Amino acid sequence: MTFGENLKMMRKKSNLSQEQFAEKINVSRSAVAKWESDIGMPDINNLKIIARVLDISIDNLLSDDKLPCLNGTEDFHEKTVQMESFGRNTTSQAQRDYMGETITDLIGRKCDIDLSGWNDGVYDAYIIGQDSNFVFYLIENKNMQKVGALGKNHITNIEELKDKKHQQLDHAFLQTNRTYLLDKHVMIEQVCKDGIVKGFFDFTNDNYLDVTIRAFEDNLLVLGLGNTVEISKVAKIQEL
């Protein structure tokens, strides 16, 4: 049984519709549909919430044949999930056009942003800036505001939520760039160019679950311990 099949079965056992389930874990219904169709995977924070809502363990939630690759030590057994090819719905231009609007046009607006393959996007998020590599966003979580960045190469769709209540954002947030993320504790979701998710679901190694970014140098992220990550392989960065 795949992860999506397992999730759908357990959701139905809990007598929850996709809409009800999405509301409980604070994502869009389309995100739940993506997970249940096995074209996406929740991030680690959402996995924890899902397990709590369904009253099961994460081990029971993740089926053996769909557990993403774990970037662990040499004696840790790795499993992989192949992703769809990158760039299917993306371009390299700095100003991407989604339904006739550029990212600049969407700054300050609330949107759902989808990422390619097994990468979880962000939902009910305000777009607050962009540069050549990233789209920056703001989300509210338990009355706390958190800033993150999504790799442009991995964005497949941006949908403005015109029917959702919007708030007036502080002007300072609308000037956000990558320097905001320096020296903050962040989570990094990294995707390798061969389409294998690494590190993000590694429960034995927290290198990507709680790190600090010391610098952005050329095409690299320099982490607090001196490790580096290629910017082109970063799908998501989010402050903790």
- The residue with tokens 């090819």 is 85
For 37-57, the pLDDT digits (tens) are: 777 778 888 888 999 999 988
Structural domain spans, the chain: 3-66, 97-178
Side chain identity, residue 130:
Q
Residue tagged 């700095």 (tokens): 94
* Percent residues over pLDDT 90 in the chain: 17
| pLDDT in the model for residue 118 | 62
- Report the candidate in 131, 217, 148 with the shortest Cα–Cα distance to residue 188: 148
pLDDT at 195: 42
What average pLDDT does range 200-206 have in this prediction?
39
- pLDDT mean across residues, the chain: 73
Give the DSSP letter string of 13-38: HTT--HHHHHHHHT--HHHHHHHHTT
Instruction: Determine the pLDDT at residue 18.
Output: 80
Give the per-residue pLDDT at 166.
63
Q: What is the pLDDT of residue 23?
A: 84
175 in helix, strand or coil?
helix
Cα 176 to Cα 239: distance, rounded to the nearest angstrom: 13
The per-residue pLDDT for range 210-231, each reduced to its tens digit, is 889 999 998 999 998 888 888 9
Domains 3-66 and 97-178 share a fold: no
Rg (CA), the chain: 17
More confident residue, 73 or 6: 6
| Amino acid 189: pLDDT | 85
Specify whether domain 3-66 bears CATH 1.10.260.40: yes
Judge: domain 97-178, CATH 2.60.40.420: no
For the cut 60, the answer to whether the pLDDT of residue 80 exceeds it is no
pLDDT number for residue 147: 93
Query: Residue 153 corresponds to which tokens in the numbers above?
Result: 């190469």
